[in-house]
Amino acid sequence: MKRLLAILCVGAMLVTGCGSGGSKTSEPTEKPSQGNKYVEQDFYSVPDELLDEDEIQVTDLQTNAEGEPALYQYVVGSDDEDDTGCSIYEYTLNSAGDWQTKQYGRKALTKLVKKTMEGSVDSVELPYVSRGDDGNLYALMQVKLYDENTNPFEKQSGASEYYLLTIDENSNAVQKTKLQTKVEENGSETDYAKEYDVTEFHVTEDGTPMLVFNSSSAMWFDSVSGTRTNLCESVSDGAFSKRVGYGENEIVYYSMSKKKFGVLDSQTLSCTSEFGDDISEDNKKYEWYFDSDTTNWQMYAFNLSGLYRFSDFGQKTSATRLSADGNFDSLADDVIYDVLVGTNQELYLLVRRTNKSQIESETTYDSGVIKYVPANK
């Protein structure tokens, strides 16, 4: 329900950021020192199945259908009796601090992948498994085709095709929809799936799938027909950070060039406001991570300076600081992959933790989820 490159526009519209055309800038509303102290409650190492030589293979911290922290992984050959079987695994961190595992779609996915491999297909991958804003489970299937123009005895990968997979968690059925990524303009055709790589996959509250490419382009599709419904070709000045957050009808991003947060209407992608003057520049220098609570559309932003909550998108958006100064300084040597905020404002961070031994001068790493809770709750 999150995590897109903030390179977004509609049709031929070129979005170059907020700041003109009647956008509103909010007034400073709080001091950087405000907020509660967050206390580290526990560290939960990720299951060994998610590690490859101590490197975590899944970097999106999501939720399961019940709203608990969860990680999703696509696995081929996870059954001793069938090393070609395909499954999606859900690893849920329950209230007792244990990881519970569920398997989805094995029979349907195995059949689908094997059938897809027939013909001029090099490989089939599921690079993204995502819990949509609508609560359903989705995956993006990438089919890499052989380049038909190369020597048939020296086959090389060519174009890719992308399919939306909708996974029924009760019946384990899988529905496949091909996403139409070709664009015709001025008599020429560009296939974005052939020319570019997908860097982000997201499904909105109404079930609309969205792809972001490394060309700084974004596409929206009809979930039934796979027809492209909207296209953003580029944003020219690199004004956006790597991640965005989603409100019910808003997209929030951080502009590194302006050092402000911007709010875009998710339908028209017109700028509605800017905010962030109430956060010091020193606290805005770190990478931002966003999370949204789709039950009430509260949005949260986190970086090493603290945890913030956003509300009242539009005319007077402001940032409410939830954590105290210096609360997360101990994470400076760690790698933060993703952030999730719970129903009671508890904070979950998916990280690779750095452990430095002063005795042996040795550094080791642990991948897992850190849980922080407000000290006053």
pLDDT in tens, 288-329: 999 988 888 888 999 999 999 987 665 566 788 999 988 999
- Residue 335 is predicted with a pLDDT of 94
If we measure between CA atoms, which residue out of 168, 157, 123, 120 comes closest to residue 141? 123
Count of residues for the chain?
377
Q: Taking 70 as the threshold, does the pLDDT of residue 30 lie above it? A: no
If we measure between CA atoms, which residue out of 159, 113, 158, 101 comes closest to residue 139? 113
Q: What is the mean pLDDT of the chain?
A: 82
pLDDT in tens, 45-57: 999 999 988 789 9
Q: Taking 80 as the threshold, does the pLDDT of residue 234 lie above it? A: no
Q: Taking 70 as the threshold, does the pLDDT of residue 235 lie above it? A: no
- Residue 61 is predicted with a pLDDT of 95
- 3-state class (DSSP) for residue 192: helix
Q: Taking 70 as the threshold, does the pLDDT of residue 170 lie above it? A: yes
Q: What is the DSSP string of 86-100?
A: EEEEEEEE-TTS-EE
CB-count exposure of residue 30 (10 Å: 0-12, 13-18, 19+): middle
Q: Taking 70 as the threshold, does the pLDDT of residue 29 lie above it? A: no
Question: Residues of the chain with pLDDT > 90: what percent?
Answer: 47
Which amino acid is residue 203, in one-letter code? V
The β-bridge partners of 166 are 138, 175
- Residue 32 is predicted with a pLDDT of 43
- Residue 15 is predicted with a pLDDT of 40
Higher-confidence residue of 362 and 30: namely 362
If we measure between CA atoms, which residue out of 279, 277, 276, 271 comes closest to residue 314? 271
Question: Residues of the chain with pLDDT > 70: what percent?
Answer: 79
Higher-confidence residue of 356 and 177: namely 177
- Residue 305 is predicted with a pLDDT of 94
- Residue 317 is predicted with a pLDDT of 67
**What gap in Å lies between CA 308 and CA 289, rounded to an integer?**
10
**What gap in Å lies between CA 252 and CA 311, rounded to an integer?**
11
pLDDT in tens, 74-83: 998 655 555 5
pLDDT in tens, 10-27: 333 334 445 444 444 444
Q: Taking 90 as the threshold, does the pLDDT of residue 125 lie above it? A: yes
- Residue 319 is predicted with a pLDDT of 80
Q: Taking 90 as the threshold, does the pLDDT of residue 105 lie above it? A: yes
If we measure between CA atoms, which residue out of 221, 50, 198, 225 comes closest to residue 128? 198
Q: Taking 70 as the threshold, does the pLDDT of residue 115 lie above it? A: yes
Q: Taking 90 as the threshold, does the pLDDT of residue 143 lie above it? A: yes
- Residue 166 is predicted with a pLDDT of 97
Q: Where are the beta strands (DSSP E) in 222-329?
A: 228-232, 240-246, 250-255, 260-265, 271-275, 289-293, 298-303, 306-311, 318-321
Report CA-CA distances (Å) from 72 to 78, 89, 193, 301, 338.
14, 6, 24, 22, 13
CB-count exposure of residue 18 (10 Å: 0-12, 13-18, 19+): buried
Helical (H) or strand (E) element with 115: helix 106-116
Question: Phi and psi of 333, rounded to 5°?
Answer: -95, 0
- Residue 266 is predicted with a pLDDT of 67
Do the Cβ atoms of 338 and 52 come closer than 8 Å? no
Do the Cβ atoms of 367 and 56 come closer than 8 Å? yes
- Residue 25 is predicted with a pLDDT of 45
What confidence tier does 157 reach under pLDDT thresholds 50, 70, 90? low
